[in-house]
Structure 1
């Protein structure tokens, strides 16, 4: 592969793709995640802290990844953060 076609965005994918594939709208329920019962990540905790403060709520600090994801979605809707304009 030459450098000129390594970065080409015109190439059509030949198999499954992730990212900017608008046709791929499959989402897993957080409770179906393999790691959903693990403790939330540091990034989730930090973002939830911001969202909860903006929403005037307090949340448990021992959420799972799945629970944190659900709270993030709910609080994004409540606060208007993360919504597309």
Structure 2
């Protein structure tokens, strides 16, 4: 059985493995596109565990951000509050920004 694939250069014959690889890449792109339009990123106010105490990782990162921003650390935040505070401090300090430039 001969297999053919559509490419930017036209139709060409491909092996079973190459076809499977191309299908896998296409599925990964589809999965990624679906994820970007999903509810994977939720508002912290809507988290089912948002009322629980912040995690150790959140507390550690908040400590670092608070020191850089010269602000006090509230050690009694919930997971949701910590997430929002991290976002605020990242914006203030420039950490976690897409361009990677930190504010001084």
> Is the TM value for this pair above 0.5?
yes
Q: Does 1:45 align with 2:59?
A: yes
Q: Which runs of 5+ in 1 are unaligned?
A: none
Larger proportion of strand = 2
Deviations 1:21-54 (A, max 9, x none): 4743643210110000000000000000000000
1:12 aligns with 2:9: no
Question: RMSD across aligned C-alpha pairs, in angstroms?
Answer: 2.7
Instruction: Give the total of aligned pairs.
Output: 78
Higher Rg: 2
Structure 1 length-normalised TM: 0.75
The structure 2 residue matched to 1:67, chosen from 65, 75, 81, is: 81
Q: Which structure ranks higher in relative contact order (CA pairs < 8 Å, sequence separation ≥ 6)?
A: 1
Unaligned 5+ runs, structure 2: 1-17, 100-104
SS of 1:12's partner is helix
